[in-house]
Amino acid sequence: MKLLNNYALRMTGDQLEADDLLQDTYMRAFRFFHKFEKGTNCKAWLFRIMKNCYINKYRKNKKEPSKVDYEDVQNFYDSIRDELVDPNDLEHKVFSNLLDDDVMNALNSLQDDYKTVVILCDLESLSYEEIAEFLDVPIGTVRSRLHRGRKILQRKLSDYAKSKGFAVKTKI
Amino acid sequence: MDLNTTAFNIDELITSYIDNQISDPALRKQVEDMIAGDARLNSKYKTELLTKNLLQSRIKQAELSDQIYLKITSSINTIVEQHKQSYNSEYSVSEYRDNYWRYLVEMISAPLRIGKVPVPRYAFAIFILFIAVPAFFIMNSKESKIKNPYVLAGTEKSIMVQAVNEFHNVLDGKCKVQYKSSNAAEVQKYVNDNANFKAYVPNIDNYSLTGCMLNEYNGRKLAHLIYISGDDIIYIYQTNMDAIIKNELDLPEQVRDEIIAAKYYMCDEVDDINCTMTLWFKDNVVCASITTMPKQDMYNTFTSFIK
């Protein structure tokens, strides 16, 4: 329940909405428990229910479905893929000057599919195999989304720092 | 894994290395060597690792509050209780229904032993059915003896219906003779004095007059004469014809027409015991006799006293 609670909070960004999402997930899981296949991963099954609840309810309430436009993401990623930043500058000039909220906002600004794998891997410490099972996607997709998600996040964090006057040199 | 791939795949391998997701030691060693030997890859590795560490250090784990935990578990408990109640009630109804039908089938099909012969219980039901159905038809056939349309369709105002009912009251002992006399003149005087109409009290061969009763219907006086001969009885209902003219009592038009034409109207099948009814007018009096005699016998008797 703790993992789902964390995921709900990261995805919604609001404690009350996260509570509702968690409750909906468990209620739905209980009602449809007969559909759970014995011997399969119950945690993954619960996670998929939460993901569907999130898509069906939370996004409906927002009335602005957050769809991943892979072409846009690909273009953006391609533009930053070969960007190199000095790790020392990144650590001392960028990350050290960011507030926790900046980090949270950067994470929340990721597209849902990227945000999900970053949360599950970096914050929940799940393996690629577990994430693949949770999301019902190949492991390669998990790896790819994770790499791109982190790269985009790094760029966003650099932009935050830049907006605060802590710019770092990029080497292409 | 083949390392002679694009930079794109090498970047993702570094990601796997950071997340400790490369299980093959040889591949892991190869990636480490690449990171160590290539400044560009080394930079990518360090920046991605820093990003990962930043997320882990800056974004705190959310604590699951006891409140939301209790809210969820109590909601589930509520559903469980509702399902339990629903299941119990459904089960008990279905169980009762199943048990009831099973019991019924077993009870009906379980054989009874008459001597050494096993006889199914439903055989008794069939036997009773064979008895009850004919009995039902026999009972009904008795009722169907009333075939006279004027009696069948008559209301309580009908002279014919009143005559039949009063006759049965006499037979059942519900109606007692008020004025006892075997003298026709005395009875006639009694009726004249008390009923305000001039009654017709004939002497009937082989029958003795026992007396009369008087009563009223809608203020109209009615007289009832009784004649007896052994087990046979002749009952005569009388009232003033004025009652028909004033519509205080009914006599069907067809019956009236036949009386006028034939001097009398005679019919049977007017009650369950197939009595014979005869109607005639005498001066201003309407007479309706009922007897247990068959129609032909009544005709012979009637023609003997009617002049």
Which pLDDT value is given to residue B95? 61
Mean pLDDT of all residues belonging to chain A: 78
| DSSP annotation of B153 | S
Quickly state the pLDDT bin for A82 (edges 50, 70, 90): low
B39 close to A (CB below 8 A): no
Of A10, A82, A147, the CB nearest to B15: A147
pLDDT over 80 (residue A38): no
Query: What is the four-CA torsion angle of A92, A93, A95, A96, rounded to 10 degrees?
Result: 60
- For chain B, give every domain's residue range: 7-55, 81-144, 149-305
Residue whose pair of structure tokens reads 């492991």 in the numeric block? A139
Quickly state the pLDDT bin for A18 (edges 50, 70, 90): confident
Of A2, A23, A95, the CB nearest to B54: A95
Cβ proximity of A159 and A106 under 8 Å: no
Q: Which residues of B touch A9 (CB under 8 A)?
A: 62
Least confident of A64-68, A149-153, B15-19: A64-68
Question: What domains can you pick out in chain A, each with its CATH number?
Answer: 2-62 (1.10.1740.10), 70-166 (1.10.10.10)
Quickly state the pLDDT bin for A4 (edges 50, 70, 90): confident
Neighbours of A63 (CB within 10 A): 6
Instruction: Give percent of chain A above pLDDT 90.
Output: 6
Least confident of A29-43, A59-73, B241-255: A59-73
Which pLDDT value is given to residue B213? 93
Residue B62 distance to chain A (closest CA, Å): 6
ipTM attached to this prediction: 0.76
- Winning range, highest mean pLDDT, from A30-34, A35-39, B280-284: B280-284
Which pLDDT value is given to residue A146? 92
Alpha helices in B22-147 (DSSP H): 25-37, 39-58, 66-109, 121-143
Closest among B161, B165, B207 to B184, alpha carbons compared: B207
B75 close to A (CB below 8 A): yes
Q: Domain B149-305, what fold?
A: Phosphorylase Kinase; domain 1 (3.30.200)
Which pLDDT value is given to residue B4? 42
Residue B267: both structure tokens together: 């019919």
Which pLDDT value is given to residue B94? 60
Mean pLDDT of A111-136: 87
Which pLDDT value is given to residue B211? 93
B68 close to A (CB below 8 A): yes
Of A86, A98, A150, the CB nearest to B52: A150
Q: Which residues of B touch A122 (CB under 8 A)?
A: 52, 55-56
Q: Which residues of B touch A157 (CB under 8 A)?
A: 51, 54
Q: Which residues of B touch A121 (CB under 8 A)?
A: 19
Which pLDDT value is given to residue B5? 46
Q: Which residues of A touch B69 (CB under 8 A)?
A: 1
Which pLDDT value is given to residue B210? 92
CA-CA distance, B290 to B168, in Å (whole number)? Answer: 10
CA distances from B215 to A108, A148, A162, B166, B195 (A): 107, 116, 124, 11, 8
Choose from A2, A5, A12, A28 for mutation: most chain B CBs within 10 A.
Answer: A5
Residue A16: both structure tokens together: 């009350």
Stronger pLDDT, A72 or B240, i.e. the higher one: B240
Quickly state the pLDDT bin for A136 (edges 50, 70, 90): confident
Low-confidence ranges of chain B (pLDDT < 70): 1-8, 83-84, 86-99, 107, 110-117, 121, 139-145, 307
A46 close to B (CB below 8 A): no
B58 close to A (CB below 8 A): yes
Of B21, B47, B64, the CB nearest to A85: B47
